[in-house]
Structure 1
């Protein structure tokens, strides 16, 4: 079926910023074909912060129905400027915000929009398609996240009125977490849907390498996780110094534990439908990577922040307490009555 999803009350916003040295014609054609499919289901706005010559090239290739805008002034993370430009330009209440590598089907798009009938912000679950070897590696990280709590995808759905009531969110490194925390701090309700699977294209290997330390730096926004990850390298070093017999048992345990945790994450919330079993075997490699990269991230933190685009970002995301001080009660004073939830707005959904 090609009937629109939620009529004029829904819109898809895609922040984009490509560089000439990384842009491939095949990727541009793939994105254009995806946008053409999207237009059959939902209005689409692309907020494009690429250089002027690339902006014009994109404008020529994108389907005519796409609204193609330049972002407002950016400070720090340009993706946030792109998102907020699209949000302010939209007249729809139900917004799907997605990175350029996300690939919704009509069914998953309709589902995430539907969940906004009972939430201010909705978090689905991404999975990689296709799966080159480095995407298996990164999938193991997703599985570990699912085992302990929930993963952070490259797409969210949000009520426009709820986000605008906060005045927007800060251009930090972990921008999706900042968006979620900002809406929740203002009194919004988050709905996590870990069995709503949305595909995304894997990064190129060079970009994958660049993400290793940057993803570790995100954990400065999650202190308990940060402490656990900083402990990994000392634990591995201590195990390696044990006598031979105990060392073998300790190292085997350190290898087996991530595999078991990843398999727990794969089995939760129907994850076996999207995540092949093979991914769990990469969990020890990801754990070793994070054990090293978290200390590199700490060095960047002490040096003023992690490199991002042409700047450095020191703040991964603001704490929930800080954002509550700024935004608490803002949604309760919203005009227009867009929200109609009766239970605890900050109760995290399974």
Structure 2
């Protein structure tokens, strides 16, 4: 048990249109509020907002999002929370992320070494669609690091950078790149495993093309994934080819599972889902190209065209901010 409170804030941006999960989230917030100051930035419709205010009153700071430019409501929620936070070290987490005191301690301590900390999420429950999406996580780990639904940040760096762009889809990458552009250090904590609740089937299906659209922020990855469909079409002509591609996909995912002690949270069967995910991405990345050509992709109430800002452009912008500050 962690007896002392952390010298940090926890920011949870939220937008619910129904309250099917309110009892479970309330239990989590009750435990969380015993360890750390919690700010829930709630962009839910008023009827839900009022219900949340009653359920969470006295547990957390519960506020509506402030003003922040851009169509990405999560960025607006995060920036509202960072502006309200009273500590330098802040943990940002989606509403499905479930920390315990020990994991909070590790992420908060890591902020002594870096300005942004990127832990690793994994699903607590494993319905078929969570297993399917786990393959994406393992392949990301094999090729670098995954992008989780939670980050640790040093508040002062983000605010000094002028915040981050609210008109992008891949908001976590945008925040990481903004911190780096401002001179901050990034720590990829691939061995800090933070659980999250698996999505419902409807939510899982709604994310397929949207996740593929994130690749526009990573051109090299986009080029590789665009080649998957012709590769799989070629492989499908002969069963041996298809088997070889499947085995290679599983082997790559398995290397991601073994990285940083991942075998402790993912069973060996997790890597076997990689061929299915590769087939999905081979199709969805082309649907993302179509969405881009027709104006962008829907995120909440907005249509977003850009996935994230290139690192070099952010570096130029931060250099201008630094120059203006010295004039």
User: Alignment partner for residue 193 of structure 1, among 189, 192, 207?
Assistant: 189
The count of corresponding residues between Structure 1 and Structure 2 is 324
- The reply to whether residue 258 of structure 1 matches residue 249 of structure 2 is yes
State the Cα RMSD in Å. Answer: 1.7
Query: TM (normalized to structure 2)?
Result: 0.96
- The reply to whether residue 106 of structure 1 matches residue 101 of structure 2 is yes
> Matches of 2:150 and 2:103 in 1, distance apart?
12
The one-character-per-residue Cα deviations of 1:182-228 (angstroms, maximum 9, x if unpaired) are: 01011110011100000000111000000000000001000000000
Consecutive unaligned residues of structure 1, counting only runs of 5 or more, are 242-246, 336-350
> Matches of 1:200 and 1:128 in 2, distance apart?
5
Q: CA deviation at 1:310?
A: 1.8
Alignment-derived partner of residue 244 in structure 1:
none
Q: CA deviation at 1:111?
A: 0.4
Go from structure 1 to structure 2 and tell me whether the alpha carbon gap of 1:330 and 1:117 turns closer, same or farther (over 3 Å shift).
Answer: farther
Alignment-derived partner of residue 119 in structure 1:
114
Alignment-derived partner of residue 312 in structure 2:
321
Go from structure 1 to structure 2 and tell me whether the alpha carbon gap of 1:256 and 1:49 turns closer, same or farther (over 3 Å shift).
Answer: same
Contact 2:65 2:80 in 1 (8 A): yes
The one-character-per-residue Cα deviations of 1:239-291 (angstroms, maximum 9, x if unpaired) are: 334xxxxx122111111111000100000110101111111111100000000
> Matches of 2:67 and 2:33 in 1, distance apart?
27
Q: Which runs of 4+ in 1 moved over 3 A?
A: 4-7, 328-335
Alignment-derived partner of residue 17 in structure 1:
15
Alignment-derived partner of residue 239 in structure 2:
248
SS in 2 for 1:312: strand
Q: CA deviation at 1:238?
A: 2.1
Alignment-derived partner of residue 22 in structure 2:
28
Contact 2:296 2:304 in 1 (8 A): yes
User: Alignment partner for residue 130 of structure 2, among 114, 135, 138?
Assistant: 135
Contact 1:187 1:331 in 2 (8 A): no
The one-character-per-residue Cα deviations of 1:101-130 (angstroms, maximum 9, x if unpaired) are: 000011000100000011101000000001
Q: CA deviation at 1:4?
A: 3.2
Alignment-derived partner of residue 3 in structure 1:
3
Go from structure 1 to structure 2 and tell me whether the alpha carbon gap of 1:278 and 1:63 turns closer, same or farther (over 3 Å shift).
Answer: farther
> Matches of 2:59 and 2:276 in 1, distance apart?
44
SS in 2 for 1:97: strand
Alignment-derived partner of residue 76 in structure 1:
71
1:162-311 correspondence to structure 2 within 5 Å: 162-171=157-166, 172-241=168-237, 247-311=238-302
Query: TM (normalized to structure 1)?
Result: 0.90
SS in 1 for 2:17: coil
Contact 1:137 1:286 in 2 (8 A): yes
